[in-house]
């Protein structure tokens, strides 16, 4: 269907608005069609498949890991078996110059090894105008020539500024964008496909490719992998009472706040820059002092913690304590010279948790295991733990002990009968470096998506698919 500028504007307004009364993930999922619901589509139907193509390459040009590409296999296999023409599109990193050309042959090889005939996986460049939002006629012509069962890939969606137009936009900035967004949505519908499948599990920002494209489509669905993750594992993960949270990005403080706002968490084990922020805030609240080193004094340092983040952490701890949340923070550190210390010197930095903190973590995990046994005895278990991030500069062995030792704590909890989930990203990389997936209940391929799922706001593409599905259902009633 054609989308007017006014409809595009209203749609984008819904996407960026806070949604305190929006249905929960568990309520949204039954309303979003599954891939099998498209079984009636005839061979030759063109289908847009928003995929997880965001992979990283090592310096030697090899892929760091291919788990995200492998997650696409079953959805693409289904489309090939149905004879659809599948138009795969997604992003790779945040740089506009990044290309999916080196990804295409790797995905092609994965599909061939999985027994999915796909031919040569071509990447179509310059498929959209960043100035107008219009889809190019050359791309439309190339897609129109494809035989039944073919797969083609559009170049990196984030090569276009328009793709990220809704990331940080303000309400009064939407109107000038609406004509281009409407042109983009209409072009995808008119020139490429009228069916949209989302298999981009990790693509949880407000990219137009996953939040606006569903608007005009005749049919939409979740891909097989993302559908399984959402329906099988995420509802359990959202019940986490123990959250292990770490990292060097202060934005994670916002994620932790959103998780705590749901009122489920009883204990937070924190490390990294996140813990520095919380520890300083706790010291202020308790009448003590805490020296953050360069993180607290040098605004030119990339790990500098500004005062407003301390204020945010102070409010978080105050509210958390009132709600019965226990914050487990480091009590010693490994400094940049490799020595353990109970304090961080002025101008210095910490790159891992120290031996006392490792022991504290083991003790707190033991307490949570006891709590789990009590829950099971009362018929309310098992308890759930969620782990995200790493504890230090774990890429270097001298700063890896905290992270390595906590992987053993994840295994310990799993063996004790708890449900243990790892949020992907660096946490997943650490698990695979020091252990394997059998040490936990499930390891996700997407850290950011899981953090959004554990918060109070809906995942943007879930919100978009739910709104589209319910609107189509209402329109056909």
Q: What is the pLDDT of residues 269-311, one digit of tens each?
A: 999 889 999 999 999 999 999 998 888 877 887 788 889 999 9
Asked if residue 9 lies in contact with residue 178, where contact means CB atoms within 8 angstroms, the answer is yes
Q: 5-230+458-476 belongs to which homologous superfamily?
A: Phosphoglycerate kinase, N-terminal domain (3.40.50.1260)
The pLDDT tens digits for 387-413 are 998 898 888 888 889 999 999 999 999
Write the DSSP assignment of 346-400 as a string of letters. TT--EEEE-HHHHHHHHHHHHHHHHHHHHHHHTT----EEEEES-SS-TTSGGG-
Q: How confident is the model at residue 118 (pLDDT cuts 50, 70, 90)?
A: confident
Domain 238-445 has CATH 3.40.50.1260: yes
* 382 to 232, 323, 361, 416, 439: CA distances (angstroms): 16, 22, 20, 10, 16
Write the pLDDT tens digit of every residue in 431-443. 999 999 999 999 9
- Residue whose C-alpha is closest to residue 10's, from 128, 160, 181: 181
Q: What percent of the chain has pLDDT over 90?
A: 78
Domains 5-230+458-476 and 238-445 share a fold: yes
CA dist., res. 266 & res. 347, Å (int): 34
Compute the half-sphere exposure of residue 340: CA atoms within 13 Å on the CB side of its CA.
11
Integer CA distances (angstroms), 356 to 199, 308, 338, 340, 353, in order: 43, 30, 15, 9, 8
User: pLDDT tens digits for 133-185?
Assistant: 999 999 999 999 999 999 999 999 999 999 999 999 998 999 999 999 999 99
Give all strands (DSSP E) within 225-353, no chain letters. Answer: 242-245, 267-270, 326-328, 333-335, 340-341, 350-353
- Give the Cα separation of 376 and 104 in Å (integer): 48
Domain locations in the chain as residue ranges: 5-230+458-476, 238-445
The radius of gyration of the chain's CA atoms, rounded to the nearest angstrom, is 24
3-state secondary structure of 153: strand
Which of 246, 244, 266 is closest to 410 using CA atoms?
244
Pick the closest to residue 388 from 207, 256, 191 (CA basis).
256
Q: Return the pLDDT at 302.
A: 77
Q: How far is CA 370 from CA 141, 265, 274, 414, 421, in A?
A: 63, 16, 27, 13, 19
Per-residue confidence at 89, pLDDT binned at 50, 70, 90? very high
Residue 249 has pLDDT above 80, yes or no: no
Q: So what's the pLDDT on residue 472?
A: 81
Tracing tokens 């304590």 back to the chain, one arrives at 321
- Report pLDDT for 175: 95
For residue 270 the two structure tokens come to 């924190």
Q: How high is the mean pLDDT of the chain?
A: 93
């Amino acid at each position: 269907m054609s989308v007017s500028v006014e409809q595009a504007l209203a749609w984008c307004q819904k996407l960026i608005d806070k949604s305190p009364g929006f249905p929960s993930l568990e309520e949204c999922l039954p309303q979003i069609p599954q891939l099998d619901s498209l079984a009636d589509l005839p061979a030759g139907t063109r289908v847009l498949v928003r995929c997880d193509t965001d992979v990283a390459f090592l310096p030697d040009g090899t892929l760091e890991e291919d788990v995200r590409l492998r997650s696409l296999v079953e959805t693409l296999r289904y489309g090939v078996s149905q004879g659809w023409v599948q138009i795969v599109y997604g992003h790779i990193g945040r740089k506009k110059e990044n290309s999916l050309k080196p990804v295409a042959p790797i995905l092609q090889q994965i599909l061939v090894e999985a027994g999915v005939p796909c031919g040569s996986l071509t990447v179509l460049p310059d498929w959209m105008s960043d100035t107008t939002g219009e889809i190019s006629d050359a791309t439309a012509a190339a897609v129109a020539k494809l035989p039944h069962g073919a797969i083609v890939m559009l170049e990196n969606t984030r090569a276009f500024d328009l793709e990220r137009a809704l990331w940080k936009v303000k309400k009064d900035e939407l109107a000038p964008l609406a004509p281009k967004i409407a042109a983009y949505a209409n072009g995808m519908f008119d020139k490429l496909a009228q069916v949209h499948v989302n298999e981009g599990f990790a693509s949880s920002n407000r990219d137009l490719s996953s939040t606006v494209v569903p608007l005009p489509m005749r049919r939409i669905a979740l891909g097989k992998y993302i559908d399984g993750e959402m329906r099988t594992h995420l509802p359990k993960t959202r019940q986490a009472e123990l959250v292990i949270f770490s990292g060097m990005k202060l934005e994670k403080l916002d994620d932790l706040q959103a998780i705590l706002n749901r009122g489920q968490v009883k204990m937070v084990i924190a490390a990294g820059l996140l813990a520095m922020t919380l520890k300083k805030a706790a010291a202020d609240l308790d009448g003590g002092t805490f020296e953050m080193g360069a993180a607290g004094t040098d605004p030119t340092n990339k790990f500098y913690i500004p005062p407003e983040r301390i204020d945010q952490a102070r409010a978080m701890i105050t509210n958390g304590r009132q709600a019965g949340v226990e914050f487990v923070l480091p009590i010693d550190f490994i400094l940049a010279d490799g020595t353990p210390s109970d304090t961080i010197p002025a101008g210095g930095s910490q790159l891992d948790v120290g031996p006392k903190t490792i022991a504290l973590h083991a003790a707190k995990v033991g307490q949570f295991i006891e709590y789990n046994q009590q829950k099971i005895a009362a018929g309310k278990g098992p308890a759930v733990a969620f782990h995200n991030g790493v504890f230090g500069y774990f890429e270097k062995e001298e700063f890896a002990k905290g992270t390595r030792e906590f992987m053993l704590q994840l295994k310990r909890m799993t063996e004790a009968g708890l449900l243990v989930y790892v949020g992907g990203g660096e946490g997943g990389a650490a698990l695979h470096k020091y252990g394997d997936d059998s040490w936990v209940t499930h390891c996700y391929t997407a850290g950011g998506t899981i953090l959004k799922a554990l918060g109070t706001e809906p995942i943007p593409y879930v919100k978009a698919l739910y709104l589209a599905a319910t609107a189509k259902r209402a329109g056909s009633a």
